[in-house]
Amino acid sequence: MENKQPGVRLNKYMAESGYCSRREADRLIEEGRVKIDGRAGALGDRVLPGMAVTVDGKPLSGEGEKVYILLNKPRGIVCTADPREPMNVVDYVGHPVRIFPVGRLDKDSEGLLLLTSDGEIVNRMLRAAGGHEKEYEVTIDRPVTAEFAKKMMAGVPILDTVTLPCKLRRTGERSFNIVLVQGLNRQIRRMCEALGANVTHLRRVRIMNLRLGRLQPGQWRELTKDELDALMAALD
């Protein structure tokens, strides 16, 4: 129904400008920081050709440069674009185009993180939630027993729910690889804690078709055309 109405929804317009995701756009609109032709924008507003949209006084074009970056996030860096956080990942990367992280990787964890100026990809990945895989290397402070692995794969009660079934492969006495298809807050750490173990090291090595490869902590690179094409195809 949306495409039969005139104009573009305000949050989509902001996302396509490369300013932020739709979710972040909704927050900015609710805070009164977005204006259309000088008046405060509202959730559900539509932008027609010729209208001027600003965020904190900065004009948006409706179409921005699309940048897609893979970062090996070091421990201590926070997955936020909020400049009030001194260790925010956007300032850490320092890219000349405004980018923001897709999804989260907690402060104490390291590994693969996707950053982009394409606000629409966030929504496409959220729509694919439950379908796309993320793989992690994990070390805990106790042996990885067959019982532990079985319970992790079957689902663990955390955060008033039970985690979805997942894949797990033991890689050492106290280490394993795990593949998830959901992203609850600090999910792996909470799952392990519920089973009496503490995570001592956690690194994400894959998001769907995107792999960490030889990127060292703190290094980043742009996606290749083949990587981007495969990612977009998987999200369609």
Domain membership of residue 81 as a residue range: 68-128+213-235
What is the chain's length? 236
- State pLDDT tens for residues 95-137: 988 888 988 899 999 999 999 988 778 777 766 555 789 999 9
Rounded to an integer, what distance in angstroms lies between the CA atom of residue 13 and that of residue 193?
A: 42
| CB-CB contact of 19 with 25 (8 Å) | yes
Which of the residue ranges 3-17, 83-97, 173-187, 215-229 would you say has the lowest mean pLDDT?
Answer: 3-17
- State pLDDT tens for residues 56-88: 988 887 666 789 999 999 999 999 988 899 999
Rounded to an integer, what distance in angstroms lies between the CA atom of residue 186 and that of residue 170?
A: 20
Active site (annotated) includes residue 229: no
Rounded to an integer, what distance in angstroms lies between the CA atom of residue 99 and that of residue 93?
A: 9
221 and 117 share one domain: yes
| CB-CB contact of 152 with 110 (8 Å) | no
**Whole-model pTM over 0.75:** yes
Q: Give me the CATH number covering residue 11.
A: 3.10.290.10
Q: Can you tell me the mean pLDDT for 196-217?
A: 96
119 and 228 share one domain: yes
- Which candidate in 26, 37, 56, 106 is catalytic? 106
Q: Sign of the CA dihedral 14, 19, 22, 26?
A: negative
Q: Give me the CATH number covering residue 98.
A: 3.30.70.580
> How many domains is the chain built from?
3
Query: Is residue 2 scored above 50 in pLDDT?
Result: no
